[in-house]
Amino acid sequence: MMIPRDVEKYLVRDEIIEKEYYLRGRFALVGHKVYASNKRLFIKRGNSIRDIDYNHVSSIELKQELNWLLVVLGVGICAIGGLLLWLGLSFWWAPAVLGVPLLILGFTRTQSIELVVVGFTYPLKLSGHRSQLDSLFRLVREKRV
């Protein structure tokens, strides 16, 4: 595992990086790299680094959620297709070509972790692959005193 210099320079004596995760943040196309040391978490996004002491995590929740925005868009677009069918227009099927995939994507559950950290005004939400989220969830739970 290659630890970036900008993370490595913040390590204190006897602190080592134990694990690395690649996750997505809320509404973010750019991912977060999360480095878990034996003392704290480092969350790196672009040039910014946030470190969180395990003892400052007041709660952690593993969530599964639907993407309601895609569901609403899919229903709306399919409704337009239904209206076009009712009006007798020959291209009524065109909105369904877009609406049905949006519905399918909207009903596909996404996994995320929500960390409530002392001193933060809002919970920190990270999304990613289930296996990485499970591993991060267990690690934070084990490290909290």
On the CB side of 37, CA atoms within 13 Å amount to 19
**Average pLDDT in the chain:** 86
- Output the pLDDT for position 28: 47
Cα angle value 113/116/117 (rounded, 5°): 125
Amino acid at 7: V
Domain boundaries, the chain: 5-56+125-143, 68-107
Rounded to two decimals, what is the model's pTM? 0.69
pLDDT in tens, 14-71: 999 999 988 765 544 457 789 999 999 998 888 888 899 999 999 999 888 888 888 9
CB neighbours (10 Å) of residue 7? 18
> What does the alpha-carbon distance between residue 23 and residue 15 come to, in Å, rounded to a whole number?
23
Q: What is the mean pLDDT of residues 89-95?
A: 85
CB neighbours (10 Å) of residue 28? 13
